[in-house]
C-alpha cells in the first residue's frame, strides 16, 4: 500500500470513528443536555416502558451532576411537585410520565399549572411509531385513547415528536412557549423509538438569552397613569398573584402615596398582614374591610396589578371593582382583556412599570403626592380574633389553629394551602407574626383549577427547591386520602415538611356548602381515619391534636427543623362554618 493510500485509509477510519462517537448520543441525551443547559435540577415523574430511554439519559446525566429524577407515587403528584418547585424558584420545572395511564394521570396537575400560569415542561412517552395503530400496550396517540389531545387542551404548546430530527426544534419551541407570552405547561409526546434513536448532534441553541423574559413597558401608558395618580384624591391598589417579583416597588409606591391596598387570595403571601395600609384580602374567603375599601365612593382610582380577575380574584366580578375607576396593570394581554371597563390599561413588566412611576415621582421632586396627607388611612385588618373554644378540651377551631400555626412558624416558612376548607381558613385567618419576603410568597394557594391534593405534592416540590426553609402543607382528610401517598417522597428525600391535616371525617367544603345552600346533605361523609397511624405505617413521626391546649403544648420546633416530614392530625371542630359565601353566590345556590 502506498503512503498516500495508507493516509487515505487512516483518514476514512478516523472519520468513521468520529461519526460513530457522535452517533453514540441518543435523542433522549440531547433532551437532557438542554435540561442541563438551563439548570434543571429535578425531573418529577413516574417511570415506565415508553419513557425508559429518558430515565437512562437522566441516569447518565445525574452521574455528571445533571438533573436527577424524583419519583412521585402518582403522576398528578409529580406535576404538583413541579408546580411547587416552579413557584419557589421562579424557574421552569419539568415533569414526565410514560404513555397511556401515566399521561392521563398527569393531566390534573398539568391543567392546574395551566390555569395558574406555571412554567413547566411536560414529557410523555408513546409506544414506538412503528407500532402505533396496532394495539400496542398503553398506546395513547392519535389512533386510540388520545392523551396527546387531552394534554393539548391544557398546554401552551403540545406536539408529538415523530422524527428524531424534529426533537431539537420542538423542544426549543416547547421551552420558549412555557415562558412566553403567558407562562404555562408545554408538552412533548415522544415515542420510545424516537427517544432511543441515535443523533449526530449536540445542542445548537444557547438558551440563556432566548429564555430571558421580555422587559417591555408601555411608556405612554405609564406617563398617563402617573398623571392620573397626581390628580387622584384617594387610591386603592389591588395586588394580584403576578406581583411577586415587583412587590417591593409596589409597596414603595403605595407608601409614598398613602394608598390603601388589598390583595387577591393568591397574593396574600407577598405582604405582611400587619402592614398599616393593608385592608385585607379581596376575593374568595376575603375580608369585609377589603370590600369596604373598594366600596368607598371617595376612592377615585383603583390600581389592579398582576391579576386575571377571575371568580376568586375579582370577588365574583364585583362591580365595586370593575368600573371606570380601574387602571389595570399587567404584562399579560390575556389578563388585560378581562377589564374592558378600565379607564386605562398599562401593559408591561410590572416591576419596571412601578420603577418608572417611582422614578417619575423622584424626578418631579415629590417624595409623596401632595394630597397624600388628606388621605384617610384605612383601618388595620383585625388579626386578633381569638376563636378559642370557651370550654377547655373542646375541639380546636380551625380559625385558632390558623392564627397560632402562622405565628409559631419560623419567619422563613412557606405555607401551601390545599383545596377545600383549608383554603378558606388560610385566606381569612392564616397570618404570620413576621415573615421573610420571597418571590413566591409565604403563603401559596391555587386559584381557578383548585384540585384536592395540590398542596401535598406542591409542598414536596417546594421543599426540594429550597431545603433551607420549613414547608407547611395545610390540607384536609379528603385530600390526604386522595394524594397523601406523596408524603413518602418527602420522607425519602428527607424534606422538612409539616403536613397539617384538618381532620373532620368529611369532605368539609362540600358538607358546609350544602348546608349553606340548603342543598341535600349527601356524599360528604368520610370514615374516621387515624392519620397518625397512617403516618406511622409510612415511618413518619406524627402528633394528634384535639384541643387548643394540646396544640399549645406541642413542641413545634422539632417538626420545623427535623430533616423529614411530620404529620399533625388535627381533629378540628367540624361545625365551624368556613367563609365560603362567594362560591355559593357564583354557583347560584344563594342569592
Ligand atoms: C380533584 C378534586 N375533586 C373534587 C373537588 C371538589 N371539592 C372541593 S373541596 C372538596 C372537599 C375537600 O375535602 P377535604 O380535603 O377533606 O377538605 P375540607 O374541605 O374537609 O377541609 C371537594 C370534594 C376538587 N376540588 N378537586
Query: What is the DSSP secondary-structure string of 361-390?
Result: HHHTT-SS-GGGGGSPPPPPPP-------S
From 112, 424, 426, 507, the mutation candidate for ligand 1 (largest count of ligand atoms within 8 A of CB) is 507
Asked if residues 57 and 26 have their Cβ atoms less than 8 Å apart, the reply is yes
**The C-alpha cell of 107 is what?**
393531566
DSSP 8-class letter at 241: G
**Mean pLDDT of all residues belonging to the chain:** 92
In ligand 1, which atom is closest to the CA atom of 425? Answer: 21
pLDDT for residue 378 is more than 70: no
Q: What HEC string does 544-584 produce?
A: EECEHHHHHHCCHHHHHHCCCCEEEEEEECCCCCCCCHHHH
Return the pLDDT at 9.
67
User: Residues of the chain with pLDDT > 70: what percent?
Assistant: 92
User: In 10 A of CB 6, how many CB atoms?
Assistant: 10
Return the pLDDT at 249.
97
Distance 192 CA to ligand 1 centre (A): 37
Q: pLDDT digits over 186-200, tens only?
A: 999 999 999 999 998
pLDDT for residue 437 is more than 90: no
CA 307 distance to own-chain centroid: 14
DSSP 8-class letter at 165: G
Q: pLDDT digits over 216-268, tens only?
A: 899 999 999 999 999 999 999 999 999 999 999 999 999 999 999 999 999 99
Give the model's confidence band at 375: pLDDT under 50 very low, under 70 low, under 90 confident, else very high. very low
pLDDT for residue 421 is more than 70: yes
Give the residue, by CA position, lying nearest to ligand 1 atom 8. 420
Angle at 526 between CA 525 and CA 527, to 5 degrees: 125
Give the model's confidence band at 139: pLDDT under 50 very low, under 70 low, under 90 confident, else very high. confident
Gap between the Cα atoms of 517 and 99, Å rounded: 42
Return the pLDDT at 16.
57
For helices 75-89 and 454-465, angle between their N-to-C axes, nearest 10 degrees: 50
pLDDT for residue 66 is more than 60: yes
Question: CA distances (Å), 273 to each of 25, 384, 467, in order?
Answer: 53, 11, 26
Asked if residues 247 and 270 have their Cβ atoms less than 8 Å apart, the reply is yes
Return the pLDDT at 7.
67
CA Rg value for the chain: 26
Distance 482 CA to ligand 1 centre (A): 9
Return the pLDDT at 200.
86
**pTM for this one?**
0.93
Give the model's confidence band at 374: pLDDT under 50 very low, under 70 low, under 90 confident, else very high. very low
Q: pLDDT digits over 174-187, tens only?
A: 999 998 778 999 99
Q: Could you give the strand order of the β-sheet that contains 497-503, starting from the edge strand earlier in sequence? A: 443-445, 414-417, 471-476, 497-503, 566-571, 542-545
Ligand 1 neighbours by CB, cut-off 6 Å: 419-422, 450-452, 476-479, 502, 504, 506-510
Gap between the Cα atoms of 85 and 88, Å rounded: 5
pLDDT for residue 584 is more than 90: no
Give the model's confidence band at 590: pLDDT under 50 very low, under 70 low, under 90 confident, else very high. very low
Question: CA distances (Å), 82 to each of 92, 260, 351, in order?
Answer: 9, 35, 25
Give the residue, by CA position, lying nearest to ligand 1 atom 7. 420
Distance 444 CA to ligand 1 centre (A): 17
Q: pLDDT digits over 508-549, tens only?
A: 999 999 999 999 999 999 999 999 999 999 999 999 999 999
DSSP 8-class letter at 214: P
Amino acid at each position: 500500500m502506498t503512503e498516500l493510500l495508507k493516509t487515505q485509509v487512516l483518514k476514512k477510519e478516523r472519520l468513521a470513528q468520529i461519526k460513530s462517537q457522535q452517533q453514540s448520543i441518543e435523542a433522549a441525551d440531547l433532551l437532557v443536555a438542554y435540561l442541563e443547559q438551563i439548570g434543571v435540577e429535578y425531573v418529577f415523574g413516574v417511570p415506565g416502558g415508553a419513557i425508559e430511554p429518558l430515565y437512562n439519559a437522566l441516569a447518565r446525566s445525574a452521574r455528571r451532576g445533571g438533573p436527577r429524577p424524583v419519583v412521585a407515587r402518582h403522576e398528578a403528584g409529580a406535576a404538583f411537585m413541579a408546580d411547587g418547585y416552579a413557584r419557589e424558584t421562579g424557574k421552569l420545572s419539568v415533569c414526565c410520565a410514560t404513555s397511556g395511564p401515566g399521561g392521563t394521570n398527569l393531566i390534573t396537575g398539568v391543567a392546574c399549572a395551566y390555569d395558574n400560569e406555571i412554567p413547566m415542561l411536560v414529557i410523555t412517552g408513546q409506544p414506538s411509531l412503528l407500532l402505533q395503530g396496532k394495539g400496542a400496550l398503553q398506546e395513547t396517540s392519535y389512533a386510540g385513547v388520545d392523551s396527546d389531545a387531552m394534554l393539548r387542551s391544557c398546554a401552551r404548546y403540545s406536539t408529538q415528536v415523530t422524527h428524531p430530527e424534529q426533537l431539537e426544534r420542538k423542544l426549543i419551541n416547547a421551552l420558549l412557549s412555557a415562558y412566553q407570552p403567558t407562562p404555562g405547561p408545554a408538552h412533548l409526546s415522544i415515542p420510545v423509538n424516537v427517544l432511543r434513536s441515535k443523533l449526530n448532534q449536540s445542542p445548537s441553541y444557547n438558551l440563556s438569552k432566548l429564555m430571558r423574559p421580555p422587559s417591555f413597558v408601555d411608556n405612554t401608558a405609564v406617563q398617563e397613569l402617573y398623571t392620573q395618580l397626581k390628580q387622584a384624591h384617594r387610591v386603592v391598589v389591588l395586588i394580584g398573584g403576578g406581583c411577586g417579583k415587583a412587590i417591593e416597588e409596589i409597596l414603595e409606591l403605595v407608601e409614598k402615596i398613602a394608598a390603601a391596598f388589598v390583595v387577591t387570595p393568591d397574593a396574600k403571601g407577598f405582604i405582611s398582614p400587619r402592614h398599616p395600609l393593608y385592608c385585607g384580602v379581596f376575593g374568595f374567603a376575603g375580608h369585609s374591610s377589603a370590600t369596604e375599601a373598594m366600596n368607598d365612593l371617595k376612592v377615585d382610582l383603583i390600581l389592579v396589578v398582576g391579576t386575571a380577575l377571575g371568580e376568586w380574584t375579582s370577588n365574583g366580578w364585583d362591580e365595586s371593582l370593575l368600573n371606570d375607576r380601574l387602571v389595570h396593570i399587567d404584562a399579560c394581554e390575556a389578563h388585560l382583556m378581562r377589564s374592558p371597563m378600565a379607564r386605562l390599561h398599562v401593559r408591561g413588566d410590572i416591576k419596571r412599570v412601578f420603577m418608572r412611576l417611582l422614578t417619575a415621582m423622584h424626578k418631579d421632586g415629590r417624595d409623596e403626592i401632595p394630597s397624600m396627607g388628606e388621605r384617610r388611612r384605612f383601618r388595620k385588618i383585625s388579626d386578633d380574633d381569638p376563636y378559642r373554644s370557651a370550654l377547655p378540651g373542646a375541639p380546636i377551631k380551625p380559625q385558632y389553629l390558623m392564627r397560632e400555626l402562622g405565628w409559631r412558624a419560623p419567619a422563613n416558612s412557606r405555607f401551601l394551602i390545599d383545596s377545600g376548607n383549608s383554603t378558606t381558613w388560610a385566606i381569612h385567618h392564616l397570618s404570620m407574626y413576621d415573615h421573610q419576603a420571597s418571590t413566591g410568597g409565604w403563603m401559596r394557594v391555587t386559584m381557578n383549577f383548585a384540585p384536592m391534593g395540590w398542596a401535598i405534592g406542591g409542598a414536596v416540590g417546594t421543599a426540594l427547591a429550597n431545603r433551607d426553609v420549613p414547608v407547611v402543607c395545610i390540607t384536609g382528610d379528603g385530600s390526604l386520602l386522595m394524594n397523601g401517598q406523596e408524603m413518602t417522597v418527602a420522607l425519602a428525600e428527607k424534606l422538612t415538611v409539616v403536613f397539617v391535616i384538618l381532620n373532620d371525617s368529611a369532605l368539609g367544603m362540600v358538607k358546609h356548602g350544602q348546608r349553606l345552600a340548603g342543598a341535600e346533605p349527601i356524599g360528604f361523609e368520610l370514615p374516621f381515619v387515624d392519620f397518625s397511624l397512617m403516618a406511622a405505617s409510612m415511618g413518619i413521626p406524627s402528633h394528634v391534636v384535639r384541643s387548643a391546649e394540646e396544640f399549645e403544648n406541642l413542641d413545634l420546633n422539632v417538626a420545623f427543623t427535623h430533616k423529614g416530614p411530620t404529620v399533625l392530625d388535627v381533629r378540628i371542630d367540624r361545625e365551624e362554618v368556613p367563609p365560603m359565601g362567594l362560591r355559593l353566590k357564583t354557583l347560584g345556590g344563594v342569592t
